[in-house]
Structure formats: structure tokens, C-alpha cells
Amino acid sequence: MDTLQLPGLHTLTTTISHYQLSEMMPVLFTSPGLKHLCLTYSYGVHEAGVAPLEATWQSLIDKAKPKAMSQLESVTIAINGPEGTMLSKLAAAGDLSQLRSLDIGRVCEPGKFVKVADLLPNLKRLFLNLDRIFSVTIETEIEESIDGILAFRPLEYLYVTGLRNIEALDRIIQCHGPSLKGLALVPTTGKINQYPRLNSSKLLEMMNLCPNMEELRLQIKRSAGNQAECEMYEALGAFPNLQRLFLDFHFDARTKVPRMGISAETDDLELRRTYINAAMDESLALQIWTKIKDKSPSLKDLRILPYGNVRFAKEERYLIDCFARSYRLTGYNLENPGVPVMEQIEERAWKIKRENSWHNSRDEEVRLSSRIVSVLQSIWPQVSEQTFRSEWWNCWTSLPLQPDNQSW
């Protein structure tokens, strides 16, 4: 209890049990300097263990001066907490009118979430995780959560994990687009192929509805660098104030992803296309930067994050780990202002993974099958079979963008 009265206390993380929601919430507002609160929820504390503390809590509340009550600026509710119930109890206990940022680790009460907006009239930043992969009513729950997002007054920053379709994104942009300075759509950990599917027309529509956008994270479906893909890069460059751009490149070209727990061999044509999409090196990263930067002088930071290596056969997965490299490009190059500074993200971890992939559990070298070598040679015919078998981590280069190629 004494900790709450420390004059320098600005940030607090605490655990609240199911039986403490009403009793403990007012106590948190007795800390005069508290600005940032992180709540984790526990079902493990029994009601009997809470009762002896109630008198102490009430005494502390009675001694607190009204002018010394907390004016919270941010609240984080860690994963799997009943956010609607917790926020309503928190609002009843104190003043949330100055709250600027809300982070919900995972929406567990989508039906109550729509009522949260009325409690937070000045909220500017909203972080949400809609990804409940084991819920049988996930689509209905996401729709209810979207209704909750729309109920807030115009937001400046919105970060959503697990948004699954373009219709939901359209609703959000129509409501909050004019005020948004930052929008981040983070891929779901479950259905990785379910995300808002964008094209150049949709991106230009977003640009018109979001004129103040400075920071953006989106999923882009790669299509071997063809015309449609290149047009998306050009459309991204049309955002007039965009400074930071994070692109999750979904490279999986399979028409159907195997069910969880199944890793079947991929059709040769689909595997070939997947390898082309996944193969990211400095040359291709620079081409993508140039496509966007030529239309967007304000762009300062681009991050390229390939993803989608899920439920491939073991040998196929090894090669994808080789090809799918992440990069960061920034425009802060004092020595050569016209050329971006480029670095491979988590390069050391990638190298360790590459080295470990040479061996299986019996410490035997991984050897590429004739089938895989044939697929690789259909992409890089200039590389000999022997080279593929001995140096398959380093003997390839990405395929360049093909803005005049309409086929896939």
C-alpha cells in the first residue's frame, strides 16, 4: 500500500483477481502521480484471501485527498482479462477523462467492448488484439469488436492484430480515416492467410480517406513482382505524409493451406511461386524502396517482413527460411543522400537458424531431394545442380520486379 503513495510513482503493473474488481479499483486512484497503469487478471485468488484486505483498502481510500487522485493517461489490460468489466469498474472508481492510450492484450468481452468508448472521451491511441483462434464464434466476435472501435471518437493511432477482411478495414477507415496518423494491422497468429486483401485501387481509396497518415503497417500479397504488385507500391507512395511503412509480405502461393498438424508436400508449381515470392535480398528490397520513394518524398523508414512459412513439408520449410529475409531501409544516409541505409533485421538470428538448418536431429546434413532441386533450377537455371546441393543457402538471388508483366 505504501508503494502507491510514493511521489515518484508514474507507472504501475499489478494483478487483480476476480474478487478484487470492485474493492481494489478505487485504491489505484489514491496514487497522486500515477499516469500509466497495467492490469493483469487472475482467477487464482480466492475470495477468502481478499476479505482481510478490504478494511485496509477502505482506510487508504478515506485518507486520500480528492485533489491527489490519479489522472491516468494510459491503461494496459494484459492478455485474457475481461476488459469491458475491468474498464467499467475502473471508470466507476475514478476519472478516466484524461486517458489517451488503451492497450487490450486480447478482446475477451466483445459484446461489452462497444460500451467502453463512452468511458474514454479523449482517447487517441487504441491497441487491440482480436486474435482468438480457438473461438467458435470468432467472426461474430470480431464484428462486435469492430462496432466497439467505431464507437470511439476519432482516433489518431490504431493498432489491430487479427483483422481478417477488407470489409472490416473499410468500416474503420470510413470512421477514423481523416484523423488517423498511424494505422497498424498485425497478422493473426492463427489463420495467417486471413487479412484484408489490398490492391492499388483500395490503397488509393485509403490514401484519400487518410490524408494525415504518417505511420502504416499492412499485409501485402506478393505475386512474383508483377504489374499488380508494382502498382500497389506506387499507390503506397501516394500517401502525402507517410514517413514510416511496415510491409508484411505474405509469400505463400498455395491455393489451399493444409489443416493444422498436417505438413504435406506442396504442388511443384505452387512451391515454385512461393519460393519466388519469399526470396528477398538487398537488391529486391532496394527496388521496392525505390518504387515507393519515387512517389513519396516524405518516406523515411521502410521495413520489409516476409511471413507465411506455415505447414510446409520439412525440406520446403528449410529453403523458405533461407529465402525469407527481413530488411529495414532508412533515408538517413549522410554520406550518400540518394541511397538508403539498408540492414538485415535480426541478421544474427537468421544466420544461426541457417546454420542449424543444415542438420537434423541426428546431426546429419540436410540433402535436397531431386524434386526440390528441379523446382529451384526452374527458377534459377543458371545455377548448377551441384551448386544447389552444396551451397543452397547462398547461391540464389531474388527475381526483380516486373512492372510490365500482367501474368502471375
pLDDT, tens digit, for every residue of 354-397?
A: 666 555 544 455 678 899 999 999 999 988 878 877 777 778 99
d(CA 215, CA 156): 11
Longest dimension (CA), the chain: 81
Please name which of 222, 338, 322 lies closest in space to residue 281, comparing C-alpha atoms: 322
Return the number of other C-beta atoms located less than 10 Å from residue 317's C-beta. Answer: 15
Chain segment 385-406, per-residue pLDDT in tens:
788 777 777 789 999 999 888 8
Q: What is the mean pLDDT of residues 102-106?
A: 91
d(CA 95, CA 97): 6
Share of the chain above pLDDT 70, in %: 85
Q: What is the mean pLDDT of residues 109-115?
A: 85
Chain segment 225-283, per-residue pLDDT in tens:
999 999 999 999 999 999 999 999 999 999 988 877 666 789 999 999 999 999 999 99
Confidence band of 211 (pLDDT split at 50, 70, 90): very high
Residue 75 has a pLDDT of 94
Cell of 90: 475502473
Please name which of 90, 99, 402 lies closest in space to residue 222, comparing C-alpha atoms: 402
Top-confidence residue, 358 or 408: 408
Residue 105 has a pLDDT of 87
d(CA 17, CA 51): 12
d(CA 115, CA 143): 14
Cα dihedral across residues 394, 395, 397, 399: positive or negative:
negative
Residue 194 has a pLDDT of 87
d(CA 180, CA 368): 48
**Residues 151 and 171 sit within 8 Å (Cβ to Cβ):** no
Chain segment 295-305, per-residue pLDDT in tens:
999 999 999 99
Which residues partner with 343 through β-bridges?
328
Q: Is 403 helix (H, G, I), strand (E, B) or coil?
A: coil
CA separation, residue 89 to residues 16, 54, 119, 123, 329 (Å): 12, 16, 10, 18, 45
Chain segment 325-340, per-residue pLDDT in tens:
999 999 877 777 778 9
Q: Is 300 helix (H, G, I), strand (E, B) or coil?
A: coil
d(CA 275, CA 320): 7
Top-confidence residue, 47 or 195: 195
Residue 363 has a pLDDT of 45
Average pLDDT, the chain: 86
d(CA 281, CA 287): 10
Residue 361 has a pLDDT of 46
Chain segment 229-240, per-residue pLDDT in tens:
999 999 999 999
Share of the chain above pLDDT 90, in %: 50
> Is beta strand 327-330 parallel, antiparallel or unpaired with respect to 341-344?
antiparallel
Residue 65 has a pLDDT of 54
> Within 13 A of 155's CA, how many CA atoms are on the CB side?
27
Chain segment 120-153, per-residue pLDDT in tens:
999 999 999 988 655 667 778 888 999 999 999 9
**Residues 154 and 187 sit within 8 Å (Cβ to Cβ):** no
CA separation, residue 208 to residues 110, 176, 203, 291 (Å): 30, 12, 9, 20
Which residues partner with 306 through β-bridges?
249
d(CA 280, CA 300): 20
C-alpha 83: how far from chain center:
20
Ordered structural domains, the chain, with CATH: 1-181 (3.80.10), 198-256+264-408 (no CATH)
Residue 1 has a pLDDT of 57
Which residues partner with 157 through β-bridges?
125, 182
